Amino acid sequence: MKVRIKFAKYGTVRFIGHLDVMRYFQKAIRRAGIDVAYSEGFSPHQIMSFAAPLSVGHTSEGEYFDLEVNSFTDSKDFKKKLQSVMVEGIEILDVQPLEQGAKNAMASVAAAAYLVSFRDETILPALWKEALLDFYAKPEIPVIKKTKKGEKEINLKESIYDLEIRTGISKKGQETVPENEIYLLLNAESGENIKPVFVLETFFQTLSFELPPFSLLIHRLETMQNMGTQEERRLVPLLWEK
Cβ contact 29:23 at 8 Å: no
Closest CA to 3 of 105, 122, 135, 96: 96
Q: What are 221-241's pLDDT values in tens digits? A: 999 999 988 778 899 999 986
User: Does position 20 have pLDDT exceeding 70, yes or no?
Assistant: yes
User: Does position 171 have pLDDT exceeding 70, yes or no?
Assistant: no
Element (H, E) at 64: strand 59-68
The reported pLDDT for the residue numbered 242 is: 58
User: Does position 129 have pLDDT exceeding 80, yes or no?
Assistant: yes
The reported pLDDT for the residue numbered 220 is: 97
> Mind listing the domains of the chain with CATH numbers?
2-107 (3.30.70.580), 109-237 (3.30.1360)
Q: What are 49-84's pLDDT values in tens digits? A: 999 899 999 999 999 999 999 999 899 999 999 999
The reported pLDDT for the residue numbered 170 is: 54
The reported pLDDT for the residue numbered 149 is: 75
The reported pLDDT for the residue numbered 180 is: 82
Using a pLDDT cut of 70, give the percent of the chain over it: 95
Q: Residues near 108 by Cβ (< 8 Å), separated by ≥ 6? A: 51, 102, 225, 238
Task: Give the number of other CB atoms < 10 A from CB of residue 184.
Answer: 24
The reported pLDDT for the residue numbered 178 is: 52
* The Cα angle at residue 105 between residues 147 and 183, in degrees rounded to 5: 65
Distance CA 212, CA 118 (A): 10
Side-chain-facing half-sphere of 184: CA atoms under 13 Å = 28
Cβ contact 18:50 at 8 Å: yes
Using a pLDDT cut of 90, give the percent of the chain over it: 74
Cβ contact 14:58 at 8 Å: yes
Distance CA 188, CA 224 (A): 9
Q: What are 143-165's pLDDT values in tens digits? A: 998 877 778 899 999 999 999 99
The reported pLDDT for the residue numbered 6 is: 97
Q: What are 101-118's pLDDT values in tens digits? A: 888 999 999 999 999 999
The reported pLDDT for the residue numbered 169 is: 59
